[in-house]
Amino acid sequence: MFKSYNQWRLIDLGDGKVSGTLTTPLRSEGKALVTTQLTPLLNIYSSFVLNYGYDYTKKIYSKKITVDKNSSSNSYLDSYKATCLNAETKYKISRKYEYNSDWIQDDTTAELFLERLILWFSYQRLIVNWTGDIKNHIQYEIGDRVLINYPLMIPTSKNNSQQFQIIGKQTDSVKKKVQLTLLY
């Protein structure tokens, strides 16, 4: 769920639909109003633990799944050992991410959830701050997915081919501009 204007909006993160393509940012003194940065290295982990199956009477977690570069406690997640090794090798980080879930009780949900945690926290993501005119950008909302076709600022491997999700939006009706924050 995302807060969009004055209401909540539910977005299916797996639907794969693209809302549009950003191509022409606003300019200020001849410079395009586009900036890029990477998410912090503090958000990168190379070892993962999920505690689940919470027993409210005993106040303990009865189940645990672990994945790191050397082992996996679940054969479904064996392929993510390489992802953990890659995170440790690429970023020179050996850090454990441990999550306690009181609501997950079954193994399948736990496996899928840990899989998402590994995919989310094992590499840096590109953040793009894009300022566009209100006429062509007002229709985009937080949670929408867009392509960016702007090779001057977007790496070739992501330009006009990878989906970015809008995670922030500010509208300035006086200056007739929209500022979007996008995440790859």
pLDDT over 70 (residue 11):
no
% residues pLDDT > 90 (the chain): 73
What is the rounded distance in angstroms from the CA atom of residue 127 to the CA atom of residue 35? 8
Domain ranges of the chain: 2-39+127-183, 42-121
Of the pLDDT bands very low, low, confident and very high (cuts 50, 70, 90), residue 17 is: confident
Task: Tell me the range of 94-98, 154-158, 163-167, 171-175 where mean pLDDT is highest.
Answer: 94-98
Place of tokens 């193994």: 107
Q: What is the pLDDT of residues 69-89, one digit of tens each?
A: 999 998 999 999 999 999 999
Of 1.20.1630, 2.40.30, 2.50.20, 2.60.40, the CATH number of 2-39+127-183 is 2.40.30
Amino acid 86: pLDDT:
96
Between β-strands 164-172 and 177-183, what pairing exists: parallel, antiparallel or unpaired?
Answer: antiparallel
Q: Are 115 and 77 in contact (CB under 8 A)?
A: yes
Q: What share of the chain is helix, strand, coil (3-state, %, to 5)?
A: 20, 40, 40
Q: What is the pLDDT of residues 44-72, one digit of tens each?
A: 999 999 999 999 999 999 999 999 999 99
What is the rounded distance in angstroms from the CA atom of residue 117 to the CA atom of residue 137? 31
Mean pLDDT of 4-31: 76
DSSP letter for 39, please: P
Amino acid 10: pLDDT:
62
